[in-house]
Every structure is written in structure tokens, then in C-alpha cells.
Amino acid sequence: MKSLRNPNRRPTHPGAILREDVLPGLEITQGKLSELLGVSRLTVSQLLNEHRALSPDMAMRLEKLLGTSAESWLHMQEAVDLWEARQQPDRFAGIKRLPASAAA
């Protein structure tokens, strides 16, 4: 699927969405968010500061708390993960595509 997003720009981390949009919109603190989600303040802090990837478990917690879909949160994280992997083409340089006949 073709994206309208600039492929040279890192996608927005889901933690940034929570930090910049969700917390101010709900007028709650990181501590309150951690309490509502049933996770540690450290977990929330690492996510909000983009030092931790959003897990399926956290996506489900956000779905329950915010009424959003877990899939939307995971798609955001997936976009970040794939973008970061694509920034390291040397890691995949030794992998050659199979001929069409071998792939079938």
C-alpha cells in the first residue's frame, strides 16, 4: 500500500501521540496514566519518551482505557519499527531474492 507519508521522515512513535495529544487532552499525568493502565510509572515514562516499543499488551490496555483500537496503536509501532529497520540496509545486504519458480 502506498503511503502519503514522506519515507525519509521517521513515523511518529505511539508514545509521542500519548505524550503530546492524549495526556494533555485528558488532563492527566504520567502517574495517573500508569495507575489507570495498571502498569508501572517507569513503563509509561519509557513509552512516552520513546525508549520502549508499544507492546500488544499495552495496545490492549490503551484500547480498554481510551476506546481506541489496539490495532491502530500497533500499526503506529509497526511503522516506526519498519522505518528503523530500513535505515540499516547493510543488515539485509547478504539476502538475495529467490527466483520466482523457487518461491512458489
In the prediction, which pLDDT does 76 show? 98
Q: What is the pLDDT of residues 2-58, one digit of tens each?
A: 666 787 899 999 999 999 999 999 999 999 999 999 999 999 999 999 999 999 999
pTM (predicted TM-score)? 0.87
Domains along the chain with CATH numbers:
14-84 (1.10.260.40)
In the prediction, which pLDDT does 71 show? 98
Question: Where are the alpha helices (H) located in the chain, listed in sequence order?
Answer: 14-17, 23-26, 30-37, 41-48, 56-66, 70-86, 100-103
Which carries the bigger pLDDT value, residue 27 or residue 101? 27
In the prediction, which pLDDT does 57 show? 98
